[in-house]
Structure 1
Amino acid sequence: MATLRLLSTRAVCNYVKCSQPLKKTLVENLRAGAYRCLSSFQVIYDTHGDPRQVLSDRNVPVEAPLKDDQVLVKMKLAPINPSDINMVEGTYFIRPPLPAIVGNEGVGEVAEVGKGVSSLRVGDWVNPADSGWGTWRTWAVCGEKDVSKVANDIPELGAATLVVNPCTSYRMLKDYVDLKPGDVVMQNCANSAVGQGVIQLAREWNIITVNVVRNRPDFQELEKSLKDLGATHVITDEFCSSSEIKAFMKLLPSAPKLALNGVGGKSATELLRCLHQGGTMVTYGGMSRKPVTVPTGALIFKEVRVLGYWNTEWNARHRDSPLKREMVDDLCDLMRRGKFLPPPTDLYPLEQYKDAVKAATEGFKHKKVVLKMV
């Protein structure tokens, strides 16, 4: 739990329930230059390895007073994504200097702003502007440009899980193939957060989806949940690699123009075999940790394109672009209207991060694990 240290009383008033007379006294103390104390509970790693073994925690005093260009953020929620796990393991492309605070995504509320800050106000919700920011903490002091304002009239969980998976789904559907209503998109890892995002966006844009998931005892339950989101077809990886897939594909209006690969290995190869002439496969993940193998015939005779998407790089190139703002506005609007739902979630208090990491790394997860800062 956070403890008090060097926090201006204006920020204290935002988070401490107290009577109006007490608030008045606190404000008077602020004007007199008085400060209270706060520390930030942080989950860190000082060496790379299995996150179930190398993570630890610390309480760090929050610096105060703020510099002119700084903001104080009270973190609210932070999901556990595969990139968080990979970063701790040291297998991710980005490696923050150690020791590092865990977490690339989350939502926080601005508690205080420096006198030179113009784009943010107390009460605004913010997301990290870049990967490696360190969201697994209760409080953060950072530069104004280190965070991006996000709408605070959408579900809190939607804001916390906005900048990685939904944006990945959106960009892959928008940027590689000029999809029209009635076109077919095929994807593996369809029950992942990215996969669920693809399903919901495709439903809104009248795109047919063929969604591949691993075979499991509760397949029918999973199939129903994905179809409730808008999935057109849900099949297993075993079916996809069987002789029956050819007959199934003939029932579609056309072969898929776009395939989205989050698995790699044999699963990616099967997607390539199903593509339309001149079709495109975009790889955004490798959950199987196996390489993508492209059949020679698919390259020569079907002239398929094989590309990759990395959300971190896209965000870096479009940090302040109108294209990014349009995407975020579209997604937030869908969330407001209940047309884009965050994945089913298990919430864990931040202090229970070890249990949360264990749950997040188990196979056949039905829910996304999210840390709650209390």
Structure 2
Amino acid sequence: MFTGQLTLSISRSVKSNLTNIRKISAAINTNCVKSLLYKEYGDPIKVLQVTTQTIQQPIGKQVSVKWLLSPVNPADINIIQGKYPSRPPLPAVPGNEGVGEIIAIGSDVQGLHVGDRVVPNGPNFGIWRTRANYDSKDVMKISSDIDLVIASMMNVNPCTAYRMLKDFVPLKPGDTVIQNGGNSAVGQLVIQLCKIWNYKSVSVVRDRPNIQELKNQLTSLGADEVLTEEEVRNTQLFKNKKLLAPKLALNCIGGQNATEIVRHLAHGGIMVTYGGMSREPLTIPISALIFKDISFKGFWMTTWTKTNMDSQERLDMFKNLANFFIDKKLQPPPYKLVPFREYQEAIAKALSFDGRTGVKYILDLTES
């Protein structure tokens, strides 16, 4: 009888301890995270709200990523407004670009380790949060030698500039590229890549009181010529053979600005449109089609990434860009870090963006 009572007592004690262990384990295996969430499309200032959730430790092929920095891009704003072609199901967390650190991994993860820095491996990732779990194939390791700010910007603008210069015209050293939006983030990267690859670059920018200061800035990055919208209408750069007529034009503005650039393209040249900041349509002169055989293409980095997700070409691009940044051949655009808790400042700046400033606002997700 005594032995039975002792056994029963021990059994109850063990069960009680196991229950406590499970409770402690559950507490350890959850983590409180903050995120910016929107449940409906609209004005980002109004529809975004800070929420708190708990997440489990990663299992299987999952990795847990602590997000560090995430730029606020115009596309992010358009997605929240419901004006972008690629939109996640609601409710959603915004943020397509950024850099994070792996802080835990599941038992079946291969090729990634705690402490690795990673970037998103696809669109609509939902980075404006402090932490989340992902399938390991959905993140891509990036060299820890790259500055954190630069790493946070790697997925969109550098890749856009790189692909537009590589994929449409077989450019050779000495060939000319003309672009509008020369002081935009992509525009500044185009200038620098042209310098690296020995192409000549002509950048068109909007006039402003400090225009010479801007021209000096872009020239210091490697621009061969910087012209205002008025100057590009009357330039003799190509007629007097100072530069070869451009084979490639890059357009992110649209409207009359783009039309003036088309007039300078060489016979058989191509204009690639990747944005429309003026919100005005692209008007194509008939003579450009009939007599100069000009072609017009569009480019969307999201589509390219989806098509080339696992390609060697994509890996080579990231490797090349990373090396350019590490070697200081590429510089990021001017930027400002904004603490996560002050996210409305970054959103407001992005909403008021008029193309005249090249400052990139980046959410510091560690400052929550």
Identity among equivalent pairs (%): 45
Q: 1:42 aligns with which of 35, 39, 48?
A: 35
Shift of residue 222 of structure 1? 1.0
The corresponding residue for 1:80 is 72
Deviation readout 1:63-106 (Å, 9 max, x if unpaired): x1322111100001000111111111111111110111011000
The corresponding residue for 1:107 is 99
2:202 is equivalent to residue 222 of structure 1: no
Letter in 2 for 1:143: D
Question: Residues of 2 paired with 1:51 and 1:238: CA distance?
Answer: 35
The corresponding residue for 1:329 is 319
Shift of residue 359 of structure 1? 1.6
The corresponding residue for 1:297 is 287
Shift of residue 48 of structure 1? 1.3
The corresponding residue for 2:254 is 264
The corresponding residue for 1:17 is none
Q: What is the alpha-carbon root mean square deviation over aligned residues?
A: 1.6
Question: Residues of 1 paired with 2:313 and 2:199: CA distance?
Answer: 22
- 1:1-374 to structure 2, matched below 5 A, reads 33=25, 35-36=27-28, 37-62=30-55, 64-241=56-233, 244-246=234-236, 249-362=239-352, 363=354, 364-374=356-366
SS in 2 for 1:226: helix
Letter in 2 for 1:254: L
SS in 2 for 1:370: strand
Deviation readout 1:154-190 (Å, 9 max, x if unpaired): 1111110001000000000011101111110000011
**Cα distance, 1:247–1:311 mapped onto 2, change above 3 Å:** closer
Letter in 2 for 1:305: S
Instruction: Specify every segment of 5 or more residues in structure 2 that has no aligned partner in the other structure, as ranges.
Output: 1-20
Shift of residue 202 of structure 1? 0.4
Letter in 2 for 1:41: K
Question: Residues of 2 paired with 1:220 and 1:257: CA distance?
Answer: 27
Deviation readout 1:121-164 (Å, 9 max, x if unpaired): 11111111111011111111111111111111111111100010
The corresponding residue for 1:26 is none
SS in 1 for 2:203: strand
Letter in 2 for 1:215: D
The corresponding residue for 1:22 is none
Question: Residues of 1 paired with 2:358 and 2:157: CA distance?
Answer: 16
Letter in 2 for 1:135: I
Question: Residues of 2 paired with 1:65 and 1:275: CA distance?
Answer: 56
Higher mean alpha-carbon deviation, 37-46 vs 340-349, is at 37-46
Shift of residue 291 of structure 1? 1.6
SS in 2 for 1:274: coil
Q: Is the 8 A contact 2:180 2:203 kept in 1?
A: yes
Higher mean alpha-carbon deviation, 320-329 vs 46-55, is at 46-55
Deviation readout 1:9-56 (Å, 9 max, x if unpaired): xxxxxxxxxxxxxxxxxxxx99x9575352221112211122232222
Shift of residue 360 of structure 1? 2.1
The structure with more radius of gyration? 2
Q: Is the 8 A contact 2:238 2:245 kept in 1?
A: no
Question: Residues of 2 paired with 1:136 and 1:188: CA distance?
Answer: 30
**Cα distance, 1:39–1:269 mapped onto 2, change above 3 Å:** same
Deviation readout 1:275-318 (Å, 9 max, x if unpaired): 00010000111111122111111011010010011100101111
